[in-house]
Amino acid sequence: MKDRAHSLFPAIVLGLLAGASIWLDRVTQQDQTLPQDNSRHEPDFIVDQVRLRRYDVTGKTQYVLVADKMTHFADDESSDLTRPRLDYLNRPEPMHLESDRALVSKEGEKVLMSGNVFARRAATPDKPESTLRSDRMTVWPDDEKMLTDTPVTLTQGQTVVTAERMDADNVAGELHFNGQVRGTFYRKQISNKP
């Protein structure tokens, strides 16, 4: 009986080693077999007091984007901005855009501004200051284009225009109003000098 126990001992040890090896393999592979959840929209970093500059092909500053806070999300590479301000500086009449929040796409090519969207174009010697108000505005900063599908109010001096929708091209200097457009227009008085 003693000889039989001695002959079973190596088999028991081999069985325990094999079982431990299988268990160790499964434990180390468990992390790899768990599904990765990339669908969660969680921030990977947060930055306070952001200032970004974009330069044109000549090296001059095209625009400056400032925000109180930027939250970046890894899943879609988007960024959420708190109190963003966008200043176009490469025009004879600089333009300023601001809102409560903004969502910036992966490459920064599209910005969805929301909450108290306000735009202001500086006055020139022949034009008074212009302001634009809406609740939401999509902006393509590099192309200097804007689009809104929410009510918009444009004021230039005493002239006031309201509409349900608007698209604009800052480079071409064009504004297109759509849907229930109403306006009061004032022109400069032409003086008749003798």
Residue 33 is predicted with a pLDDT of 47
Predicted confidence (pLDDT) per residue in 152-188, tens digit: 999 988 889 999 999 988 878 788 998 888 888 777 6
Q: Which two tokens stand for residue 32?
A: 């790899």
As a whole number of angstroms, the distance between CA 127 and CA 157 comes to: 8
Stretch (H or E) spanning 136: strand 130-140
pLDDT for 13-51, tens place per residue? 566 666 666 666 666 665 554 455 556 777 788 889 989
Q: How far apart are CA 70 and CA 50, in angstroms?
A: 7
